Every structure is written in C-alpha cells, then in structure tokens.
Amino acid sequence: MIVPQVSPPTSRAILCAFLLGGWLGGCAPDRVPPLPTILVTERLDLEQAAMNGGPADGWWRDYGDAQLDELVALALTQAPTLDLARARQGEAEAALALSQSGDWPAIDLDGAADRERESKTGLVPPPLAGKVLNSAQASLGLSYQLDLWGKRHSAIAAAQNQVAATGAEVAAAQLFLIGAVAQAYYALQTDLQRQALTVDTALLWTDLLTLSEARLKSGRDAIGPSLEAKASHATARLSQEQAAVLVAVDRHQLAALAGTAASRLPPLPGHKLPEEPVMPSVLSIDLLARRPEVEANRRGVVAAADQVDVARAGFYPDIGITALAGQSTLQLGQFLSPGSRIWNVGPALHLPLFEGGRLHATLGVAQAELDQAIAAYNQSVIDAVQQAATAFAQWAGADRQVRQAEAALEQARRLAALQRGRLDGGLADRSASLQAELAVLSGEEVLLDLRGRRLAYNIALQVALGGGYRAPLPSAKPNNPAMSP
C-alpha cells in the first residue's frame, strides 16, 4: 500500500497552526460567572418518595364519558393552539439537523468555461496577446472544520436539548388544551342540568302564583303573598333565560377550543356529572417529572449551558483542512490531458485577533440567557407546586361543601315528603307543599353548582399533577447535576 507523504513545508504549516491555535486560545476566559441558584426540593417541602396514584395517560377517560372522549379527539386534531407548539418543534428539529451537518466534510463541484480575446497592447505578453483563448476549469473541493475545542459538539447538544424542550412544550400544550376542553364540557353539562332545574322552578312558581291569586280573590289572603309570588315567578323566568344563555356560551367556548364552529359540534345531551377519580393527598418530588412545562424549562437550562460552551469556544481558532483537485487549461483540447491537472491541500486557520469586544459580548449574552433560563426553570417549579397545592386545596374544600350540601338537601327532601303527607291527609294546604318542593329544587341547584366546581377543581388537579406525563430520561448527563429530574 502506498502511503501518501506530506511534504516538510506542509507538515510544518499544520504543526504551526495547531501550536498557534493552542497558544492564542489561552486568551479565552478561563472562568464563567457563577450560576444562579437552582431550586432544591427541600425548599419546597416536597416528599422525596414517588407520588402514589395520580393521573395516568389518557386521564380524561377515567370520567367514563364518550362525549368528552370525542371532543378531546376533535380538539387534538383541529385546535390551532397546538399548531404553534408543533411548528416550534419542527423548527428545533431543523436546527438540530443544521448543527449536525457540520460533522460531515463539505464537498463542492465548481466549473467554468469562457471564450476571451486578449488585448494586443495590454498586460498579456506574446504569444497570447491579441489571440482568442478558450479556457476551462473544473474542480472538486473538500473542506472540513476540526472540532478541537468542542464548539460543534456543544452546539449539537444545545440543539438536541432544544428539540427535547419543544417536545415537552407540545405535551404541555396538549395537556392544557385537554384540561380546558374537559372543564368547558362539564361546565356545559352543569348548565344543562341547571337549565332543567330552572324550568322546574318556574313551573312550581307558576302553580304557587295561581294558588296565591285564587286565595287573594277568595279573600283568604292579603295582596302581599300574591305580589311576592309574582316577583319570585318573574325571577324564576329570568333564571331560566340566563341558564339558556350560559348553555349557548358554553357551546361556543367548546367550539373555539376544538377549532370548529358551534354548529359542527356533536349534540352533547345533558347527563349526570361523573364521580371524580381518587387523587393523591401529598405532593412529592415526582411532581417535577410529571409537569411537561417544567421539563421544557429544565431542558432549556441545559441547552443554554451548552450555548455558553459554544460562546467560550469562539475565543479559540477555527482550524480546518481544505483540498482541491481538478483540471484547468487555456486550450480546450488539452482539458483532459494529465498536464492540465491541478490540486492543493493544506490547513486553514481563522483566529479572531481583534473583534472590538464581540466575543466577550457574545459570551455575556450566552451567560445572561443561561441566567434567564435558570430563573424561568425556578419559577416554573414554584408555579407547578403552587398550582398543584391550590388545586388540591380547592378540590378538597369543594368536596367538603358537597357533603354538607348533600346533608342539607336530604333534610329538605324529608321536609317536602312530610308536607306532601300532610297535604294528602288534609292537614296542610298546597302552598306549604309547593314551598317545600321549591326548597328541594333550590338545594339541588346549590348541590349541582358545588359538584360542578368540585369536578372543575378535580380536572385542574389532574392538569396540575401532569395529566399522566412522564419526562423521558435524558440521553446524556446534564451540565449541572441539579437539573436531573
């Protein structure tokens, strides 16, 4: 095998390039300002053990509602809110491919041909002066940048973490969209049931108004009870109209979330609100791995730290290798002859000597962006804990209120049953029985409202606990051990 020999001048040039690069690279800053503090779990009172229970993937299916499943599927395929997150993910993936392209040598093919008459009295000497020349040149060039200081490696790592961050952002957008759809859907179901209750209430007040007017005409009552019945009847009719408006508004909100028109939504008939799944009673460190926006910010910190390494590597010289081979001639007939061959090979060096402070400014920008990323991560951790704790407190409080309202409604129903018995036995008039039935409907509306709130808080808690999201394990060890999930 023939081993190509490098001429002594070429080998000396390469050696000098490396030595010069290493010596001048010492001008790069050897210290980076200290990083801001990354929150630790002890400051947030999170349990160190893994969280027991909590949402699973497809958590909304636990409500057992086929209509909700259909709406979620519709929103995930049509909602414009997801397009922006997906577009950012596509941009990050393209940027990663661009960064990775530097791992390969660049190969270029160039060619040119022209026909030119040289001046007889110009700079070209005889015998070419005054003649028409046909020249041609074709060459294949190769260039490759060496990654001696890890600049390209850090850029690729930053791009990879940015892809992971945008993937988590897509998951976060999907989670928040599903939560919004579920809350809007059950707000509609609550308002549909409230609308039915207002109809029943208006009918009872109609009966009570008729009875009061009859008692007024017969002289058994003064005008006061009749006026009170008229006012309450008008209020009941107003509540009925307001409930109809709420139902229409809920449908339009659902349509906007699903990315369609309200007229294109399925019929969505009203039905009883579902029982909520059991939720964990304590918050643990596992919460941080369940929240996709926390994972997105964590990846953003690692990517920003990689960009600091890229900026630091900019102080060192860029060293590459270039090579060219081809044919060049002033006589087309000799274009392919061995004598027309050309070639060159050698190192290439670019060293920034004076940049007006550009490199230090670039490093300062990268460091500031890292500081911002850490601050954003810390805030996302605090927000995640606060949202989960708030949602749990609201859900637990609503659950207690529901139990109290159920007990109050049971007493109202017992009183109504008693009044019906007294009416059937001739011991009371129909007015007392109607008033008792109105108290039952009022109790049912209060209970419906509290159950609707409890369900909304349950959905908020599902979202606050990550909705079944689990952060994937990082493919490489992060620059800062504190950023491990």
442-462 pLDDT, tens per residue?
999 999 999 999 999 999 988
Q: Is the pTM of this model over 0.95?
A: no
Residue 239: CB atoms within 10 A of its CB come to 18
Give the Cα separation of 333 and 43 in Å (integer).
82
Calculate helix-pair angle for 151-217, 430-464, nearest 10 degrees: 180
Residue 238: CB atoms within 10 A of its CB come to 12
Right CATH number for 8-483 from 3.30.420.40, 2.40.50.140, 1.20.1600.10, 3.10.20.30?
A: 1.20.1600.10
Among residues 271, 283, 296, the alpha carbon closest in space to that of 54 is found at 283
CA dihedral 331, 337, 342, 343 (to 10 degrees): 160
Residues of the chain with pLDDT under 70: 1-55, 215-216, 218-222, 280-288, 426, 428, 469-485
Give the Cα separation of 39 and 113 in Å (integer).
65
Per-residue confidence (pLDDT) for residue 477, from 0 to 100: 43
Among residues 233, 254, 242, 234, the alpha carbon closest in space to that of 194 is found at 242
Q: Is 415 helix (H, G, I), strand (E, B) or coil?
A: helix
Give the Cα separation of 465 and 289 in Å (integer).
10
Q: What angle do CA 398, 400, 405 make, to 5 degrees?
A: 90
